[in-house]
Structure 1
């Protein structure tokens, strides 16, 4: 059998285990409602927490950016692909999260894959939360440093591991808000350990930027952390409603990342029209306290309305995971909700541990109270 034909059997195994992933196609979007695979549904999947992705101000900024700069940047940032709009966006983002400087990356995956190898290498050590996002795991592996994973949010275990390490350079790596559980890392304690053991601390605030902290300034502002040993990764394709990512920190640290991060150096710069939209998004994030308050009210509504609230993981963020258990049960519940016009994704291994398949409910400022009521009623009806 040719090697490519074996893939058919492998795909059949994924089907049998309830692990095959399938895409749905959106052909029309209006706020929280979408036309997906030909049917109208309320979208409880998206990470557009502040409902900015289709905000008129972002659309206008992107159009004006295209008129002024064209579409492509034409080269890497370090050759001729760095425009005034990029510079303006980096300054706005640094100010919003309370850092001295920021550096734009094309994606969050590229930021995480580039920053860690720029800071540590062979003979050094990375200490990572076991539930970190895949991009953080891959960035750690690319660094070739010794990767040690501590139990989720277990600062006592991390303290022991740091004390046992003789690595010349150490790096603690964590998500701020964990994307499948919705809980927040103990960042104040992690920072105290970083200070005590003289380590770097890298915080991926993909799901916290725009949601946590005063005016959506993110996890550093939320916890009052300010130190040159901290690197902050912000993702722009979620609450900010645009695309891309940035790393922020002290001037000297960001300059070092610029010099050494291969995923920044060896790729074409993001379109300047996108940087124009990012500038507008930063302003909207800062001015969206009312949207954050609305999302908080929806979270309370969901958590108090379910017949079995104990199935929800502890989360004060827009990510509200409902544990179902088996893969087939999670898929069946998601399918039943979709039949009622409620689109909620079933998350299964390897994204989450075996036996913890779940519905990952994402709430946004676009959702109305009656839409959350409909979701609660349907879940209660199908989960007696």
Structure 2
């Protein structure tokens, strides 16, 4: 048997490690929350997408248990064969009503939602104009589609207008602008008011991935488009972040669009239906998020982000500007990011260094993320640990 393939794989792993790009998995021995158990120790967790702190909430957990007890572990089927449960329809109605759309289609993962939205809706006669910082799932979804592709620099409205003009002059039947609502590696919020104005000018549709916005941005946490007070055509999102932290994705749109996606979207047609436990937990998380308690959690999240950002800036760290609870600590060097993350874990703070290919080369960082479940004391302890380690490593 030839060994050349395996030799090449081993050599590539060695090269990845030499560049400081290895991404180790650290095993967590507790529920997700502001404090987790790693390596037999309790550490502060500042790198989860648990924005509202609901992933370990007992009500969310129990709702999932009750759903599994009633509906079983899973459907053992895709939706159109014998995999559509009443709870799937309930969840589709709940998220559509919450976000203000006619209908919703569920997916096993948010990656699948972005992977499945373009190909059924747009063909070779159409055009997709995509932000350069869009999530990998959007990029892959666009690649699966035969529509002509255009790209514009992150939130550069002049370049977006140029691409829209090119597409329109090239005779595109339909144009869709695709953008993250909040860009996951940087914490930037898309300029959707300006995007809306250009879409109206060039008769374009708007698709927004709101995975890092649903539940906590905008009035009642309805997302980035609600934050800006505009309407969009398609919203993709997840139950794996603010809305319970489990997994699963969705697309919200007009009913006719959802009906077509249910006939043609391959990740929907060829994947098992979302597990009942995920549906139950997500329904409870939506209930909490859209109520008065959700308002209180969003206020706490905003206060936590402001406190952390101010303290880290005062300590001398280079942070990307913004108002999102994603707050990247910029370091540049991949090995330095890994070393600082390891030093912080020793000090009782769990964060992760991000490097290529997750972010561009030379733009390594530690992406810190706030949660409504963090206390001010958690934040102050984390800033102190960053400051001590940063001074020891010459970062500040």
Q: TM-score, normalised by structure 2?
A: 0.93
Equivalent residue, structure 2, for 1:375: 382
Cα-to-partner distance string for 1:7-39 (whole Å, 9 max, x where unaligned): 111100001111111111001237311111333
* Cα distance between partner residues in 2 of 1:154 and 1:197: 16
Residue 303 (1) aligns with residue 302 (2): no
Of 254, 259, 267 in structure 1, the residue corresponding to residue 258 of structure 2 is 254
Cα-to-partner distance string for 1:200-250 (whole Å, 9 max, x where unaligned): 2110000000111111111232222235xx101121100011321111011
For 1:75-86, list aligned pairs within 5 A.
75-86=77-88
Contact 1:98 1:220 in 2 (8 A): no
What is the alpha-carbon root mean square deviation over aligned residues?
Answer: 1.5
Structure 1 window deviating more from structure 2 (259-268 vs 176-185): it is 259-268
Equivalent residue, structure 1, for 2:287: 283
Of 209, 215, 218 in structure 2, the residue corresponding to residue 210 of structure 1 is 215
* Cα distance between partner residues in 2 of 1:249 and 1:21: 36
Equivalent residue, structure 2, for 1:40: 42
Equivalent residue, structure 2, for 1:16: 18
Contact 1:99 1:250 in 2 (8 A): yes
Q: TM-score, normalised by structure 1?
A: 0.96
Write out the 4+ residue segments of structure 1 that deviate beyond 4 Å after TM superposition: none
Question: What is the DSSP-based 3-state SS (H/G/I as helix, E as strand, rest coil) of the residue aligned with 1:126?
Answer: strand
Contact 1:97 1:220 in 2 (8 A): no
* Cα distance between partner residues in 1 of 2:70 and 2:366: 43
Distance 1:29-1:272 versus aligned 2 partners, 3 A rule: closer
Structure 1 window deviating more from structure 2 (334-343 vs 254-263): it is 254-263
* Cα distance between partner residues in 2 of 1:351 and 1:146: 25
* Cα distance between partner residues in 2 of 1:96 and 1:327: 40
Equivalent residue, structure 1, for 2:240: 237
Distance 1:72-1:319 versus aligned 2 partners, 3 A rule: same
* Cα distance between partner residues in 2 of 1:245 and 1:195: 28
Unaligned runs of 5+ in 2: 391-395
Q: How many residues align?
A: 382
Cα-to-partner distance string for 1:263-306 (whole Å, 9 max, x where unaligned): 11122111233222222111011121111111111111111112
